[in-house]
Chains A and B, each alone.
Chain A
């Protein structure tokens, strides 16, 4: 076993909860903070008054940090998310609030989640203590279909989601719910879809979304979405015929490369792609064979998490496997770009 430190284990995982106004975020958070399993979880919310926790309040450790009877720490955003997360960590470090093992952040209203992801990924001070676990997006079964057709941010929230919670399924026809699910999968093939009624959800359903350790295992394959992909092969997927309309150019692409990359070649190709088409590169994640070593990469538009070198390959498959969610970039163009840059780059 390694005698050093795992670059991911030990960082406090942060889950972002996004969703359009009316999708049910406040209802979900208000129920969530009272759940008995929320002991040792800190929740960052926009407005403490909205969720009505007065009866569950045990103590205020400062004007914007409250402790609930179940052990949940509720914290309102003071200036920005960065400062709030730092304050939470410092309060804990000083022993003023209890220990917490994870953070759930309610993002604001319209919210393109990309800037929040950028905050978490690019702030190296925060990165020393926290890691982005993943994005959970709420879509309501009644209004979601219209939003997907008319609001690019809604599509982006779906594209960036690791898990999609379809709400208000009790108010929509089963056919409409199925069609909405098809539309979600047409944008983001790997999103795990679950139903939520009246905000009734177990905290466990909001966690364990991202890569939690550089030690390879079954969890690594789950993170890479390989279980879903078994036998799917390479290519592009388009929406089913009954799905609501959405921007038909958005879709999930899977690419495999048998030849190993040098890190220089891979990162140069990725950089070129994001320079040319950053806004249309909604998301990328995958495992890259860098001179034989497995390196996990993930990014949103032009923002990339620090690459993680795994301690070993998680399976016998040593090929580079990348999943992109793009707007109007064909798989073949991306493949050609990586191959061309690989051919030009100096050998490793």
Chain B
């Protein structure tokens, strides 16, 4: 097609782009608008909706926002971290119990582990217990999955876990919190060969440019299959584990696109009714340096033989790769089992850093279709110079909540799909 001087409208980071999504509200969270990948919704006894948000980095720990009226979100509490070399990054709430992850910048520091809070009075979270994961080789907990009120599945280090490579410090741990005052480890699994003393040989690493570690990221267990854990193990690939016997966890299947791709598998989201898995990567380098970071559709009719059947149509590379910061896949809305979570076997919502939040119709898994997106204009003072949407949560009213990694805070959106 002949064309000249084609201005790339989408490449201008100050522009807000939108298709079938409408901004209901934007909250900058009192100037601390850099948020991690912990978003969870509490329905209080009094009928309020509190959206709990984990911060990307110090000084703030977590923030509670009352989103009962999605057009008028109100910040009700914002907590502090003890020092600047720890971050909370991830959280989940079940009933009135909030689990928060703590990861330190380097191994050997504290607090590195998980806190449980009583948030029955959301304005004043009360610490119930701290589960310590610190140790000479441990940075603590990167991500928690807490949906049944009894068990926390996490990506964590441990005092007794010495990785062969420091990038491989976080593995899959199951923590029994049925007595929230005394959490205890109930199981663990790591990629064979990554721990000092393993019989298996160390894994073949990606090239230095893309070597981001053989460690756990999202560790999801759903009520539909309490005997399965769905794990994104970063450069190790996507794992499904048989956790029926927590003292003897077994690998059911493993799928990895790297090499030749550039590593960092983040999330494995099963669509139970359709025997499909949605697998997302995480982009971790700026300006498209680790492109392509994608969302993959996997046929899982035979869970021992997962077959990739396609990728989600990505936002156009030429318009976004140089828009500022990271460009590529990251978090998905994970069909959480709680009462306030949207669940769909066909509509998948994900965040893509500078390409915003995007909504896909997967009714035809061989030809996934993008049906909506919202790309906020660059937040003021963002060091990336562009939006960097990091995580997303969709409530059962189909209201979409998404957060910026650096400065923009919380965006509340309506989908017209």
Contact = CB atoms under 8 A, between A and B. Distances in A.
Interface in A92-124: 92-99
A9 B398 CA distance: 14
Contacts of B4: 60, 62-63
Interface stretch (B102-110, B190-198, B223-231, B313-321): B313-321
B319 A95 contact: yes
B167 interface: no
B347 A10 contact: no
B7 A4 contact: no
A63 B320 CA distance: 24
Contact of B417 (A9, A59, A96, A97): A9
Given A5-B363, A99-B17, A10 B3 contact: no
A3 B347 contact: yes
A61 interface: yes
A138 to B, nearest CB: 29
Contact of A96 (B2, B9, B397): B9
Given A3-B343, A5-B371, A61-B7, A10 B417 contact: yes
Nearest to A73: B9
A67 B7 CA distance: 10
Given A3-B342, A4-B344, A5-B347, A96 B371 contact: no
B372 interface: yes
A125 interface: no
Interface in B317-347: 318-320, 342-347
A95 B371 contact: no
A6 interface: yes
B15 interface: yes
A95 B318 contact: yes
B254 interface: no
Nearest to B344: A3
A96 B6 contact: yes
Nearest to B361: A5
Interface residues on B, range: 35 or more
B7 to A, nearest CB: 5
A6 B398 contact: no
Nearest to A65: B3
B219 to A, nearest CB: 24
Interface string A272-302: 0000000000000000000000000000000
Contacts of A60: 4-5
Contacts of B9: 61, 67, 95-98
A10 B6 CA distance: 27
B82 to A, nearest CB: 41
Contacts of B316: 93-95
Contacts of B275: none
B320 A95 contact: yes
Interface string B344-377: 1111000000000000010100000101100000
B188 interface: no
A95 B3 contact: no
A95 B416 CA distance: 21
Nearest to A63: B2
Nearest to A128: B369
A1 interface: yes
Nearest to B362: A5
Contacts of A97: 9
B371 A10 contact: yes
B319 A94 contact: yes
B397 A63 contact: no
Interface string B1-44: 11111111111000101111000000000000000000000000
B355 to A, nearest CB: 10
A98 B17 contact: yes
B80 interface: no
B343 A10 contact: no
B6 A3 contact: no
A60 to B, nearest CB: 7
B375 to A, nearest CB: 9
Given A1-B398, A60-B5, A94 B369 contact: no
Nearest to A87: B1
A131 to B, nearest CB: 12
Contact of B372 (A10, A61, A92, A96): A10
B318 A1 contact: no
Given A59-B7, A97-B9, A9 B20 contact: yes
B396 interface: yes
B5 to A, nearest CB: 7
Contacts of A98: 9-10, 15, 17
B18 A96 contact: no
Contacts of B416: 9-10
Nearest to A213: B416
A118 B15 CA distance: 36
B346 A10 contact: no
Nearest to A1: B398
B131 to A, nearest CB: 34
Nearest to B319: A95
Choose among B316, B398, B416 the residue with the greatest number of A CB atoms under 10 Å from its CB. B416
18 contacts: A1-B397, A3-B342, A5-B371, A9-B20, A10-B371, A10-B417, A59-B7, A62-B6, A87-B1, A94-B316, A94-B319, A95-B10, A95-B11, A95-B316, A95-B320, A96-B9, A96-B10, A99-B17
User: Which 4 A-B residue pairings sit nearest by Cβ, starting from the closest?
Assistant: A95-B319, A95-B10, A3-B344, A62-B3
Interface of A: 1, 3-6, 9-10, 59-63, 67, 87, 92-99, 128
